[in-house]
Chain A
Amino acid sequence: GAVVSQHPSRVICKSGTSVKIECRSLDFQATTMFWYRQFPKQSLMLMATSNEGSKATYEQGVEKDKFLINHASLTLSTLTVTSAHPEDSSFYICSAGDRAQETQYFGPGTRLLVL
């Protein structure tokens, strides 16, 4: 099946720094990718829809200037958490699906810890 990778898998940073997370579709092209955030013992909350070649669409309550999304190619979307703070510590998961698929393929997630 289709594979989606994320990098890094885990990151620890100091408060105030910015962190970039990459999401790649390895064997298919994805015009749309999705970014989710998951706090401990909670479900996945959709943050934004990443659209190749255009601006991302953010869900209500998600700050677009805080969480910068770039979808520069059909196989790569990046999420940058700017000026990260401890409350941004979470598990970030991306997903992607090609046009022929009904199923979204999920990356393995990136665990962010902001000290």
Chain B
Amino acid sequence: SQQGEEDPQALSIQEGENATMNCSYKTSINNLQWYRQNSGRGLVHLILIRSNEREKHSGRLRVTLDTSKKSSSLLITASRAADTASYFCATDASSASKIIFGSGTRLSIRP
């Protein structure tokens, strides 16, 4: 399969709690990106982390990257109802310019 794996597939948490999503990939990468997609809509780019970086922050988002384990995590702190969406990691492989998406996590925030 061209896809990486994400877990959990679905996550439901209470508003205000933190949400953590994990992504594993298969090949060497130049960078890894996280996207959000609201139901039936296009993709929104959240954050990019390069292969030589280990952690990156953007607002309530924190992304980690472990290239030795070929994995990344996305942490959303102090979740809000508006964070309800599907979240995808995507890798830009070293050997090609194309971006391959993970299987995604459906996040639901309960008010």
Partner-B contacts on A (CB < 8 A): 32, 34, 36, 41-46, 49, 59, 91, 93, 95, 102-109, 111
What B residues does A46 contact at CB under 8 A? 2, 98-101
What B residues does A109 contact at CB under 8 A? 41-42
Q: Please tell me if the beta carbons of A59 and B42 are within 8 angstroms of each other in the complex.
A: no
Interface centre among B35, B40, B43 (most CB of A within 10 A): B43
Query: A109–B86 Cα gap in the complex (Å)?
Result: 16
What A residues does B35 contact at CB under 8 A? 106
Residue count of chain B within 8 Å CB distance of chain A: 24
Q: Please tell me if the beta carbons of B103 and A43 are within 8 angstroms of each other in the complex.
A: yes
Known: A43-B102, A102-B30. 12 other contacts (CB 8 A): A42-B103, A42-B104, A43-B88, A44-B88, A59-B2, A93-B43, A102-B31, A102-B48, A102-B92, A104-B99, A105-B45, A108-B42
> What 0/1 readout, one digit per residue, does chain B (68-111) give for beta carbons within 8 Å of chain A?
00000000000000000000100010000111111110100000
Q: How far is the CB of A64 from chain B (nearest CB, A)?
A: 16
Is B67's beta carbon under 8 Å from chain A? Answer: no
Is B3's beta carbon under 8 Å from chain A? Answer: yes
**Residues A93 and B42 in contact in the complex (CB < 8 Å), given A43-B3, A103-B48:** yes
Q: How far is the CB of B61 from chain A (nearest CB, A)?
A: 15
Query: A83–B92 Cα gap in the complex (Å)?
Result: 33
Nearest 4 A/B pairs, CB to CB: A108-B42, A106-B43, A44-B101, A43-B104
